[in-house]
Amino acid sequence: MRGILKGKWLIVIAWILAAVLLFFSSPDMAGLLREKGQPSVPDDYTSVRAGKLLDQMNEQKGFGDTTDIALVFHNPDGLTDRDMKEAERAINKLEKEKEQLGIKEMLSPFEHEELENELISEDGKTILVSLVVDRMDRSAEKLSEDLYGAVSDTNLEHYYTGQELIDEDVIRTSEEGLKRTELITVAFILIVLIAVFRSVVAPVIPLVTVGISYIVSQSIVAFLVEYVNFPLSNFTQIFLVAVLFGIGTDYMILLFSRFKEELSIRENVPDAITETYRHAGKTVLYSGIAVLIGFSVIGLSEFNLYQSAAAVAVGIVVLLAALFTIVPFFMAVLGKNIFWPAKKSLEHRPSRLWTFAGRMSFASPLLSLIIVAAVTVPFIISYDGGLSYNSLEEIGDDYKSVKGFEIIEDSFGPGEA
């Protein structure tokens, strides 16, 4: 620790340079998510084999790199003659622009009357049109934009849906969720740290330290995904934010609490820092290693969605390095000012609340168990353990691809899409 304190300025400058360099040079995580971040199962599963057979069949038809898309026309009050003409007009327009849009095959009830009963719902509210579309090196976002643009003047509720479009909306949802998660996490951490230390300085240090750790670890993960096919999913960044900021704040509270106590009994700041890491530092290191092992083991699972959680292991390595290099820098430079403007003595004092709770638990263990049961049992009983295999519930019905899918489900029945 003495060596780290001597070179503290060089170490912090190195961290800042590394964070900036990695941030601007690392591959775009959003692009990697679209390319490699979709959940998948191993090749020996029957669904994967079936998918490969369908791809081969499309290649034999000369379709090349295509995707299946459903176009849905819908009127919740029932389709009128005017609606039918409007839908037919839109389909004719798609037919005329087939080549530009990359449409290889289209099945509609207007061109194939024998399919009318299959493509117009029994409730008379929905028309389903099946499209096979060549991607033409377009992103899902661009593909959707082109298709919607072709029927933009259609005065009838309509949606495009399909796996490609749904996957794109899942990624958009995860990106929006990540932003909310970051804001909420930072806000809660600030509240907790201000409540714990009664300081406006102490809360900033964990945010800076963990923030640098997050930028560096996310960039490293992006490089690993790009060059060594490291597992990635739309949950990876949220895992990193939640775990790094969670345990990072936890460890910082432990370190700062010990540092505060050491300052009251040591003659100088370097001695207080050294003693802090000699004792609390060991706890942080061993705890971090345990979490590191846990997330590393998750990487051994078969499902790539779970494997992607192994990125947290990378983040924990970076976080531990930051806790043992960046935090001592702030301790050395700021000293007692870390806890400004708190005016209370830095000496540790027992908490009345926890002293009372400890004594009561020791004196009346049965009563303590009853209190714990009263809080936890209602939740245990009310939890039904229900599972859902509908992945669309993750993103809600605010997106057009989901709306289209749900309309098909309601009008034609589950599975028809």
pLDDT digits (tens, 9 = 90+) for 345-379: 555 567 788 888 889 899 999 999 999 999 999 99
**Cα–Cα distance measured from residue 88 to residue 126, given in angstroms and rounded to the nearest whole number:** 13
User: What is the pLDDT averaged over residues 123-133?
Assistant: 90
pLDDT band (50, 70, 90) for residue 218? very high
Structure-block tokens of residue 113: 């009357």
Residue 174: half-sphere exposure toward Cβ, Cα within 13 Å: 22
pLDDT given for residue 286 in this prediction: 94
219 or 7, higher pLDDT: 219
**Cα–Cα distance measured from residue 127 to residue 154, given in angstroms and rounded to the nearest whole number:** 14
User: What is the pLDDT averaged over residues 80-91?
Assistant: 91
User: What is the pLDDT averaged over residues 241-262?
Assistant: 89
Q: What is the DSSP string of 133-156?
A: EE-TT--HHHHHHHHHHHTTT--S
**Cα–Cα distance measured from residue 417 to residue 411, given in angstroms and rounded to the nearest whole number:** 10
pLDDT band (50, 70, 90) for residue 64? low
Q: How distant, in Å, are the alpha carbons of 77, 137, 240, 308, 370 from that of 185?
A: 44, 38, 12, 21, 33
pLDDT band (50, 70, 90) for residue 343? low
pLDDT band (50, 70, 90) for residue 417? low
Q: Does the pLDDT of residue 342 top 80, yes or no?
A: no
Q: Does the pLDDT of residue 61 top 70, yes or no?
A: no
pLDDT band (50, 70, 90) for residue 261? confident
Structure-block tokens of residue 206: 């964990």
Q: Does the pLDDT of residue 75 top 80, yes or no?
A: yes
Q: Does the pLDDT of residue 84 top 80, yes or no?
A: yes
**pLDDT > 70 fraction of the chain, expressed in percent and rounded:** 96
**pLDDT > 90 fraction of the chain, expressed in percent and rounded:** 31
pTM: 0.77
Q: How distant, in Å, are the alpha carbons of 202, 328, 386, 393, 417 from that of 389?
A: 44, 48, 10, 9, 16
Mean pLDDT of the chain: 86
Q: Does the pLDDT of residue 223 top 90, yes or no?
A: yes
172 or 159, higher pLDDT: 159
Number of H helices, E strands in the chain: 18, 4
Q: Does the pLDDT of residue 159 top 90, yes or no?
A: yes
pLDDT band (50, 70, 90) for residue 229? confident
Closest CA to 253 of 319, 325, 185, 194: 194
Q: How distant, in Å, are the alpha carbons of 33, 164, 248, 379 from that of 47?
A: 22, 17, 41, 37
81 or 61, higher pLDDT: 81
User: What is the pLDDT averaged over residues 243-257?
Assistant: 90
Structure-block tokens of residue 358: 């400890």
Sheet order of strands, 103-107 included: 103-107, 126-134, 66-74, 158-161
Structure-block tokens of residue 327: 């935090």
User: What is the pLDDT averaged over residues 387-393?
Assistant: 74
**Cα–Cα distance measured from residue 107 to residue 99, given in angstroms and rounded to the nearest whole number:** 16
User: What is the pLDDT averaged over residues 111-127?
Assistant: 85
Q: Does the pLDDT of residue 292 top 90, yes or no?
A: yes
Structure-block tokens of residue 41: 């199962």
**Cα–Cα distance measured from residue 220 to residue 23, given in angstroms and rounded to the nearest whole number:** 9
- How far the first Cα of the chain sits from its last, in Å, is 62
pLDDT band (50, 70, 90) for residue 410? confident
36 or 153, higher pLDDT: 153
**Cα–Cα distance measured from residue 345 to residue 356, given in angstroms and rounded to the nearest whole number:** 22
User: What is the pLDDT averaged over residues 97-117?
Assistant: 86
Q: Does the pLDDT of residue 43 top 80, yes or no?
A: no
356 or 391, higher pLDDT: 356
- Lowest model confidence (mean pLDDT) among 3-7, 152-156, 360-364: 3-7
Burial of 251 (0-12, 13-18, 19+ CB in 10 A): buried
